[in-house]
Amino acid sequence: MDKTKNPTKQSSEDSPQKNPPGEIIEDAVIVGCIEPFPEIDDVIPEPTHNGRVQFRVTGDVQGALRKLYQNHPVGSLDVLKAVKSARQAIFSLKGQGYVRNGHSFK
């Protein structure tokens, strides 16, 4: 099941402020698995209107997903840290706020 959304379409879940280009991924595990690949530039957690958290991923997301599904080697510790960080972003955004990669969210 593809958890990405087309970045060119505006959805009701996009925040009203100007968002950087990228693809929206709703699954924290997929985000954590592709974040260590060099094709990914940045991962920005964003709250949605219904209280959930989505991730805006910039870079060659399709290339990173292709590598993931083709079982390219990636460090397991890197994936573990990235998944843990993505899950932490979910809990932090639902609570007080969160700072990740220089982006502050409340």
The pLDDT tens digits for 45-103 are 988 888 888 999 999 999 999 999 999 998 999 999 999 988 888 888 777 555 555 66
Q: How far apart are the first and last CA of the chain?
A: 30
Q: For residues 65 and 38, is the Cβ–Cβ distance under 8 A? A: no
Do the domain assignments include residue 17? no
Do the domain assignments include residue 82? yes
Closest CA to 3 of 23, 29, 21, 27: 27
Do the domain assignments include residue 6? no
CA–CA separation, 22 and 45 (whole Å): 12
Domains: count for the chain? 1
Q: Which domain holds residue 44?
A: 30-96
Do the domain assignments include residue 14? no
Weakest mean pLDDT among 15-19, 21-25, 28-32: 15-19
CA–CA separation, 40 and 60 (whole Å): 6
Whole-structure pTM value: 0.67
